[in-house]
Chain A
Amino acid sequence: MSIAPARDPVVPAEAAQPPLLVVDDIVMRFETPEGSVTAVEHVSFDVKQGEFLAVIGPSGCGKSTLFNIIGGLLDGYQGRVAVGGKRIIGPHRSIGMVFQEESTFPWRTVIDNVAFPLEVAGMTKAERIERARHFVRLVGLDGFERRYPAELSGGMRQRVSMARTLASEPKIMLMDEPFGALDEQTRLLLGDKVIQIQQELNQTTLLITHNITEAVQLADRVLVMTYRPGRVKRFVAIDLPRPRNSEIVGSDTFGHYVAQIWSDLREEASRGMIADESRSRGRGRAE
């Protein structure tokens, strides 16, 4: 059984290598008109160099809050986020974010979108185009360099966003439901692309998702969160061979992991559904 208790037991053999990203005891509260709401409570985990960690939880578990805290876009939390042993505050060069929503710049071509982080870093035009071309090729969009986002499909646009983030060469790539708006088949195929890129660059990746298949398909380890307040419920190590591709979705072991995570998640998701229903009932009465 690979189900671990709430704190990840550090395997002695790997203890020699310090984790790249440490998220330590994060607590985040929001003040709302109805009072204080705790979105994230005492969340701690680490990600090792080259590891792919997926954070999964029901909607309303504070996943996106966690994403914004680690990315440095959200302030006012307790706890600590550290990269390579150093605490980081605010947006940091070592963390690259891929957003859930459509986030390509519609006024820039594909190549100029990807070159964006290099441009603001002050790289010369020739050099940054050359570099950007490499990342465009990496996500499989060669031939589309001169196109505008409006001319691409949703899946292609998300790949542009990913290439743009990768071009800034972050130590950690942080993704928030990057394929949430896409259909299931595109999502599986893009998953293959992500695995391939992650392997090729040995890219440390933290994926936030509510999709169990996606988490098991991509991750080395899955962190299951509870419904509000979001806490760490369990870590599940995904012991599937690499290199992987989407064909493993049909395998027995895959199904076993999915079932295992779903049994954890089901409880949380139904708690969330009941809470949502009673809230909308209350709102209906107030009006």
Chain B
Amino acid sequence: MSGLSKSLTRSALRPVLIGVGSLILFFIFLEFAVRFGLINQFAVAPPSDIVKAFPRLFAEEHVGDRFLDTAFEAVIASVFVALFGISAGVLLYKVRILRLATETWVAAFAAAPTVLLYPLFLVIFGRNATTIIMMGFVAGLAPVTLKTLEGLSTTRRVLVNVGRSFNLTEWQLFWKILFPSALPTIFVGVRLGLVFALINIVGVEFLINFGGLGALINELSERFDLAGTYAAICFVILVSVMVFMTTERAERWLTSAG
């Protein structure tokens, strides 16, 4: 999937060069297209202006603090997502009838456009960080629950039989066999939950114009600061790609060790 992990070998270097090279060419084209009026300069900022806007983001717009706001919300939401999602998954695994009754509901909830609940959450919690955190929580809950359930129930039968043949108690069976066996899948769920939570958090910040990075984009665009808006968007993309890549690394490390 990601060419980046293999970039160390010589044969894999070519596609990376092509990818990055095309991107640079694209930016150069954009620069000239805007400068020479091929593209409306009120719609697209020239890449050089976007680059120049970056220091301004840090100095005047306190993008660092904004980032910390968003990160704080994301961390709180993820902790809650992991806590409640894993517990719910274990509960559904243990109580078979509850699973039969509600698994399709959870799956439907996972596919539902929960972010559209934000006006409702605004009414309930007000225009503050709680609303944003709760929106993140709602987005991440279902995938973690479903992945935990999947991990536990796809534990290979023979491993459970090994445990039973050694006369393990229910408690030991869970902590020594089911849980470690499910852990890589659970982590996939937590990672999905974190990514979904982050998407919702930045999105809701933008929509309700409160808090961290999302709100910054909104403010800059309302001030018609074209280069600043583009720079802030680039910053957000950079942050989410970094989060995505780091957690992907962690996931790969975990699945290869386990």
A and B in contact, CB less than 8 Å: yes
Q: Which residues of A contact B (CB under 8 A)?
A: 71-73, 90-93, 95-97, 99-103, 105-108, 116-117, 119-120, 148, 150, 164, 168
Residues of the A chain whose Cβ atoms lie less than 8 Å from the Cβ of B166: 91, 116-117, 120, 168
- A-binding segment of B39-47, B129-137, B177-185, B217-225: B177-185
Counting from the closest, the 5 A-B pairs by CB-CB distance are: A107-B258, A97-B165, A101-B158, A107-B180, A103-B158
How many whole Å from A179's CB to the nearest CB in chain B?
A: 15
Task: Find out whether the CB atom of B168 lies under 8 angstroms from the CB atom of A71.
Answer: no
B181, A97: Cβ atoms closer than 8 Å: no
Tell me how far the C-beta of B255 lies from the nearest C-beta in chain A, rounded to whole angstroms: 10
List, in ascending order, chain B residues with CB within 8 A of A90's CB: 167
State which residues 142-165 of B face A: CB under 8 Å: 156, 158-159, 161-162, 164-165
Residues of chain B within 8 A (CB-CB) of A93 are 167
- Asked whether, in the complex, the Cβ of B162 is within 8 Å of the Cβ of A99, the reply is yes
Q: How large is the interface on B (under 10, 10 to 19, 20 to 34, 35 or more residues)?
A: 10 to 19
In the complex, chain A residues whose CB is within 8 Å of the CB of B181? 105-107
Any A CB within 8 A of the CB of B257 = yes
Task: Determine the distance from Cα of A106 to Cα of B158 in the docked complex, in whole angstroms.
Answer: 13
Q: Which of B158, B165, B172, B257 contacts A72 (CB 8 A)?
A: B165
Establish whether residues B164 and A102, one from each chain, have CB atoms under 8 Å apart when the complex forms: no
Given that A93-B167, A116-B166, A120-B172 are contacting pairs, would A107 and B159 also be in contact in the complex, using a CB cutoff of 8 Å?
no
Which B residue sits closest to A151, measured CB to CB? Answer: B256
Residues of A within 8 A of B165 (CB): 71-73, 91, 95-97
| 10 contacting pairs across A/B (C-beta < 8 A) | A73-B164, A91-B164, A91-B167, A93-B167, A100-B158, A103-B158, A105-B162, A105-B177, A120-B168, A150-B256
Q: B residues 102-116 with Cβ under 8 Å of A?
A: none
**Residue from B156, B165, B166 with most neighbouring chain A CB atoms (10 Å):** B165
Judged by DSSP, the binding face of B is: helix
B62 interface hit (Cβ, 8 Å): no
Closest Cβ neighbor of A161 among chain B residues: B162
Q: Other than the known A101-B156, A105-B181, A107-B258, what 6 A-B pairs have Cβ atoms closer than 8 Å? A: A73-B161, A73-B165, A91-B165, A106-B258, A107-B181, A107-B183
Contact B180 A105 (CB under 8 A): yes
B56 within 8 A of A: no
Indicate if B6 sits at the interface (CB-CB under 8 A).
no
Smallest CB–CB gap between A56 and chain B, Å? Answer: 22
Q: Residue B167 contacts which of A92, A99, A106 (CB distance < 8 angstroms)?
A: A92
CA distance A72 to B156 in the complex (A): 19
Min CB distance B117 to A, Å, is 38
Type the 1/0 row for B19-61, where 1 means its CB is closer than 8 Å to any CB of A: 0000000000000000000000000000000000000000000
